[in-house]
Chains A and B, each alone.
Chain A
Amino acid sequence: MPPPTDAPAGPPAAPAPPAGRRPAPALPRSARRRAGWGRLPTAVRRGVLLAALIAAWQGYVSAAGVSPLVFAGPADVAAALVAGWAGGDLVAPTLTTLRLLGLGMLIGSVLALALTALAVGTRLGDDLLSLLTAMINPLPSVAVLPLAMLWFGLNETALVFVVANAVLWPMAVSLGTGFRTVPATTVAVGRSLGLRGWRLVRDIRLPAALPHTIAGVRTGWAFGWRTIIAAELVFGVAGARGGLGFYINDARYYLDIPNVFAGLVTIALIGIALDLLFTAVERRTVVRWGMREGAAT
């Protein structure tokens, strides 16, 4: 960007130089914004902010003298986290939750794929999917938990059902959009190479729909993750082993506040980790191919 000769469009960062004297070449706006705090690398900026927040947290706990029965400081939480992960008390619930989530997502994805295929292939399927998503999508997915418990009993199947239901609808919507919005020219190119049937789907339609597919899995996972934690909180223990939601509830019952926080932090960390994973997958595929603008993280 050449140094602007006219007044910049945005609000000037510094008072205008006196008229008559040649102004020193102004920094381009982007460079100006990058001065100071903005010039630090993202990781450093975030690290400093995080440290400041934790310090504020510790400061509040020390200064206000809140009862340890309702609030825990970062040091206690960190100790509980380490103990939980080292001793295995947090490991088993985490694995249980992830296993149920994975199973629910798998079933939900397969159903979403089948529904999408039906919807893209037939008019009736299309109408059916539109109607079902319009009816079920606004319903918070934990809301079907009572029904699931009635149908399947107090077991893991009920949880898997709730998660599959949470994942299915947003994913079917994304997949459907993905397949419907494949550019006509792209399909024409495949057809003019003589591709038909499954090969046309595999080599042309599926990769062309990938941006929406990844977005769908991402939304599906986010819905599923919130749903399973909520369901576990309500549901309590399934069989002998409870998940993270149960772990938190259990800790609350025994007024073990640091462990409540440790459970929450674990949930947040897993959420962050999976989000980073999806971002990395997108970077390597659809962003690299220019099929989607890179989302800054």
Chain B
Amino acid sequence: MADTAEASAAAPGTGPPLLEVAGVAVGYNGPDGYTAAVADASFTVRAGETVMLIGPSGCGKSTLLRVVAGFLRPAAGRVVFDGRTGLAPGPDRAVVFQESDQLLPWRTALGNVAYALRATGTPRARARALARDHLVGVGLAHALDRHPHQLSGGMKQRVAIARALALAPRMLLMDEPFGALDAQTRGRLQHDLAALVRRTGTTVLFVTHSIDEAVLLGDRVVVLGDRPSRVREVVDVAGVDRPDAPEFTAARRRLRALLAEEEETAHAPAH
């Protein structure tokens, strides 16, 4: 996957916008009619950039990701990816879902990754070799032939990450991919993801609950408010990638303040 054209791109985030989300409102049709999840979201993701989505639980982060992935149509506003609107799901935007049942239970870990590659046109032998490499890359060399029900939650999540990375997508959509992992594994995978993004110039839209993860991995952080949510602010955290840098502490304080403010307005008595 190191042979992506964007590999030679200049500093991340200076390219043209790859994804544009403009005035998007989206919700779900239920038995009681339409319920809004996101009221008004606008942000852009430039090619090679890593943009983080953060906000309180239930504010519509996964919903926004589903819109970009092409599973949901926005009720208002528009989403432009690579010049196209009216998106259908496709492997150019590989998704790591939040749900733990995202692996095909009838295929092994290796089979899951290899199948994704074959389904998108890679010849069988090459698909298996690539799949193996990517699983070794997430530390699963010992579990290639296990079925998903024989893997722990974190291991399943790592298979899903390997599957998405193996597809070498234009854009990676990740929904709290490291949420179920222990601190060490999470740290290692964060580091590996950052390195991979730097090497291949892959564009990433990443949902997280963790302020630290947002600051460390992101170039910019989109802070969402309570449901039905709006974008409260987009915080620039490019270049802050070491926890001991003074900018790190500042960015973290800024994000914490934004999210705490959100908490306060949400729990203030209504008048």
Interface residues of chain A, those whose CB is within 8 Å of chain B, are 183, 185-186, 188-189, 191-195, 199, 203-204, 207-208, 210, 285, 288-291
Contacts and interface: CB of A to CB of B under 8 A. Distances in A.
Interface string B97-111: 101011111100000
Contacts, number: 63
Contact of B89 (A186, A188, A204, A290): A188
B119 to A, nearest CB: 5
B130 interface: no
Most buried by A among B89, B99, B148: B89
Given A195-B119, A290-B150, A186 B104 contact: yes
Nearest to B94: A192
A58 to B, nearest CB: 48
B104 A189 contact: yes
Given A191-B71, A194-B120, A290 B90 contact: no
Nearest to A195: B119
Given A188-B71, A188-B89, A290-B149, A193 B116 contact: yes
A1 B120 CA distance: 47
Given A185-B102, A186-B101, A193-B91, A290 B148 contact: yes
Given A194-B120, A207-B104, A291-B106, A189 B97 contact: yes
Interface in B150-205: 150
Given A189-B102, A194-B90, 11 more contacts: A185-B101, A186-B102, A188-B97, A192-B69, A192-B90, A192-B91, A194-B91, A207-B104, A208-B105, A288-B147, A290-B150
Contacts of A194: 89-91, 119-120
Interface residues of B, number: 25
A7 B84 CA distance: 68
Contacts of B89: 188, 191-192, 194
Interface string B108-135: 0000000110011000000000000000
Given A207-B106, A289-B106, A291-B106, A193 B120 contact: yes
Q: In the complex, which of the residues A189, A195, A208, A285 has the most CB atoms of chain B within 10 Å of its own CB atom?
A: A189
Given A185-B102, A204-B104, A285-B106, A192 B147 contact: no
11 contacts: A185-B101, A186-B102, A189-B102, A191-B89, A192-B70, A192-B89, A192-B90, A192-B91, A192-B93, A195-B119, A290-B148
